[in-house]
Amino acid sequence: LEVGAGKGGFARGMAKRHADTAYFAMERVTDCVVLAAEGAMETGLSNLRFVIDTADNLTRIFAPGTVSKIFLNFSDPWPKARHEKRRLTYRTFLAIYKKILKKDGAIHFKTDNRGLFDFSLEEFKDFGMRMEKLTFDLHNSEYMEGNVMTEYEKRFSSMGVPINRVECYFD
């Protein structure tokens, strides 16, 4: 499940790479979902579905313990402190993710925004999550192999902006 899928490039890439796995791309902006779905139809992907909704409704859409991975890619950083509750890595969202993730499920988080990344690492730690494969420069790390890039990731990395990445698990 990718939350905040935008135009769906990442979800399409994952669905194409892993044809035997079901993927869901969630986005709240209808126009983005239409573009993403059109792109998926053009490539003939039958293992990718789209959800037009927001992350606070995930428990209404997915049953407990049914999602193996949640991808948070280049989420809106909501830079003002008063907006931190809107960040997809805020503790209320982590509680929602915990409900729908399988026991050994993971959250994969990537962003170019170092402030959001640092905030998120603190949220993950405070929530008691185990962090693995953490890097502040994905494209120059051992974790680059198998990476599927988002549209934002392609743009920012081409400008030399380091990409932050981490995988998180609920213990």
Residues belonging to the active site = 76
What is the spatial distance between Cα 73 and Cα 88, in angstroms, rounded to a whole number? Answer: 10
Evaluate the CA torsion angle 86, 92, 96, 97 in order and state its sign: positive
Give the end-to-end CA distance of the chain in Å, rounded to a whole number: 20
Q: How many CB atoms lie within 10 A of CB 73?
A: 25
Helical segments of 24-136, H only: 30-42, 58-61, 91-100, 114-126
What is the spatial distance between Cα 121 and Cα 38, in angstroms, rounded to a whole number? Answer: 35
What is the spatial distance between Cα 153 and Cα 167, in angstroms, rounded to a whole number? Answer: 17
Q: How far is CA 124 from CA 22, 24, 25, 77, in A?
A: 26, 23, 23, 16
